[in-house]
Structure 1
Amino acid sequence: MPIAVTGVIAMDHLMTFPGRFPERSAGDRLHVASLAFLAEGLEIRRGGGGANIAFGLGRLGLDPVLIGAVGSDFADYQVWLKQHGVDTESVLVVPGEHTARHVCTTDVEGERVSTFRPGAMGAAATPSLPSLRSVAERTGGLGLVVVAPGDPAAMLRHTEECRALGLPFVAHPSWQIGGMDRADLKYLVSGTSCLLTNEDESARLMESTGLSRPQILDRVGAWVTTLGAAGVRIERGGHEPSLVPAIGSVTVAEPSGAGDAFRAGFLAGAAQGAPPERAAQLGCVLASFALETTGTQEYALDVRRLLNRVREAYGHTAAAAVRRLVTYAA
């Protein structure tokens, strides 16, 4: 059964700053709210966490269903997603509104300054968005629901629907950790089959919920935390944490989207019954392709290259296991 991915669908405006942000905001200028950075280049790309994850799943042959709200400027983006295996029939188009915009400038150290305009995203919390029940009826059932960051009310709605329908769900709160109150965050993560965060988000989640690491582990099936170049930490209640190394020797073109590519690879593996560590290996390899490409949905997927990277990083046994997970990859 297909995986449903909820969350924001956006257009990314990506720029680079040929310096270091701290040099422009240090010393006695910390109180100044107006800072200017002369950026180089501009890449306008398709993005948004929900769409990025769905794109990665589509490239891996999982036939994902994307659920979210967009503006009347979505037509070309919709064609792109369909061409890459994403079901967009449950995306709500809001006439007269723009699809969400993410403007991101990256400095030479990989630090980023971002601005986000929600646009049509707010409509994801309205009754006009297709319910998970209706999506399941249209598609013949759902095997998993990914609650990725988007409108907070929509995230809670999707979580509630999953519980009511008995659907397994993955919680990926990300940048909305700071936009939700304590009770809502606890509700979002409780009962999830898997919690996805990065290292900074894991710390902020504990602070925002008031829950300790063991208390969160009691509420989730597994907690998967990306650690950048240090790899991925996998935690489960009653088990020792495990660490999956990242792929080394990657030439980074632009870091945006690598986390979403990892999540797509991890979810593709997990949905096919792979152990979390094996699923994380697939996620790390997919993230390495995203790191080498500017834009969150521009990476090419060559199965032979993918398996070679798995073999080099994790060994022949891992490559054989991952080969079975990417049988239908585009």
Structure 2
Amino acid sequence: MRILVSGSLAYDRIMSFPGSFADHILPDKIHILNVCFLVDGLEEKFGGTAGNIAYCLKLLGEDPTIVATAGKDFAAYEAWLRHCGIAITGIRRVNSEFTAGAYITTDRSDNQITGFNPGAMKHSAEYPVDDCDPADTLAIVAPGNLADMQDHPRRYKAKGIPVIVDPGQNITAFSGEQLTEMLTGATYLVSNDYELQLIENATKLTLAEIVARAGTVITTLGENGSVIRQGAAETVIPACPAADVKDPTGAGDAFRAGFIKGLSLGKTPVEAARIGSVSAAYAVEHHGTQEHRFTWPEFTARYAAAFGDL
């Protein structure tokens, strides 16, 4: 099956500050804030929604195509994707920009200050879908370029390609009318419970109306698993137990990859969500979003322990 993963590619540049931000910020001087934090070092990780989902899909034995943009500093990330065997034919290079980057500083109390440069993500991926066979193609539209997030679902639906709409952290960038158009006629809508509430608030649609428009609504609940809504039916999927939770970042993208894998195997959305649950467990056991590893036999054994034979 051809799997198109639309979203972002980004470098996550992570810094640790050994002190407390609060010790360096004077509340009565917040209007003239001017602070400098001497960090212990910097780690660079590969990230972005499209990169994370594609990475997990490759571990799961699929051959996804990333639909995204990258900048003039993409060489290291490109080498990583090639090393992983992930297709880069859908990545548009924008040589006048840097690849999107998140600059994250965390203090000893786990408070974070993050700066995000969208860079190349400000540009459309300009990916054609005319040659896609709707019977053998599945697409996910995850947070990335805002124009693509509106245009790709429209084109996929017009072509008859099953599409997972995942507006995520970009929900607030869209109007209620835009969100309503994006989810109406989608095959699946996926979000966490907080994001689902934001969608309800923005669109003025009830949950039942959203389910009626989007077909199947998947809501992730963190350590409490997920819930699948289809018509009037609701099914709760428990989280797969994690051996040691080190970093929840990337768990949502790993869940989405597992869900897509399930659909590619012809599984029901409920069964696919269980596969997503196992995929997410691997992600939270490692720092970074593309650091975990597993083989398919290891994965199926872990699935069997949690949910029974795959």
Q: Same fold (TM over 0.5)?
A: yes
Q: 2:141 aligns with which of 147, 163, 180?
A: 147
- Percent identity reads 35
**1:37/1:228 CA distance change after superposition, 3 Å:** farther
Match of 1:123 in 2: 123
Q: Deviations over 1:100-122 (max 9, x none)?
A: 00123456786654332110112
Q: CA RMSD in A?
A: 2.7
Secondary structure class of the residue paired with 2:189: strand
Show CA shifts across 1:145-181 (max 9, x none): 1111111111111112112212111100001101111
**Which residue does the alignment assign to 2:130?**
133
Report the CA distance shift for 1:108/1:259 in structure 2 as closer, same or farther (over 3 A).
farther
Q: How big is the shift at 1:28?
A: 6.0
3-state SS, counterpart of residue 13 of structure 2: strand
Offset of residue 236 of structure 1: 1.1
Contact in 1 for aligned 2:242/2:282 (Cα 8 Å) = no
**5+ unaligned residues in a row in structure 2: which ranges?**
none
1:101–1:118 contact (8 Å) kept in structure 2? yes
- CA deviation profile, 1:287-311 (whole Å, cap 9, x unmatched): 1111111211111113343233223
Q: Which amino acid aligns with 1:175?
A: Q
State the AA in 1 paired with 2:42.
L
The 1:214–1:101 alpha-carbon spacing in structure 2 relative to 1, beyond 3 Å, is: same
Q: Note the alpha carbon deviations across 1:207-235, whole angstroms, 9 max, x for none.
A: 11111111101111211111111111111
Q: 1:257 is aligned with what amino acid? A: G
- Compute the displacement of 1:183 (Å): 1.0
Asked whether the equivalents of residues 242 and 285 of structure 2 are also in contact (C-alpha less than 8 Å), the reply is: no
CA offset at residue 250 of structure 1? 3.1
Q: Tell me the SS of whatever aligns to 1:219.
A: helix
| TM-score normalised per structure 2 | 0.89
**Distance in 2, Cα, partners of 1:156 & 1:185:** 8
How far apart are 1:55 and its partner, in Å? 1.3
Which residue of structure 2 lines up, in the alignment, with residue 204 of structure 1? 198
Report what 1:49 is aligned to: 49
Structure 2 vs 1, CA of residues 4 and 36 (structure 1 numbering), >3 Å: closer, same or farther? same
1:159 alignment partner, one of 148, 153, 156: 153
Taking the aligned partners of 1:142 and 1:170, their CA distance within structure 2 comes to 15
Match of 2:221 in 1: 227
Q: Name the CA shift for 1:59/1:199 in 2 (closer, same or farther; >3 Å).
A: same
Aligned length: 309
Tell me the TM-score normalized by structure 1.
0.84
Provide the secondary structure at the position in 1 that maps to 2:123: helix
Deviation (angstroms), 1:27: 11
Instruction: Provide the C-alpha distance between the structure 2 equivalents of 1:149 and 1:141, rounded to a whole number of angstroms.
Output: 25
1:169 and 1:116 map into 2 onto residues whose CA distance is 27
The aligned residue for residue 13 of structure 2 is 13
Between 174-183 and 155-164, the greater mean CA deviation after superposition: 155-164
1:250 has 2:247 as partner? no
- Secondary structure in structure 2 of the residue aligned to 1:124: coil
Deviation at 1:16, TM superposition (A): 4.6
* Cα distance, 1:253 vs structure 2: 2.1
1:65 is aligned with what amino acid? T
- 1:312 corresponds in structure 2 to 305
For 1:265, which of 239, 258, 264 is the aligned residue?
258
Q: Which residue pairs with 1:88 in the alignment?
A: 88
Inter-CA distance 282–108: structure 2 relative to 1 (3 Å threshold): farther
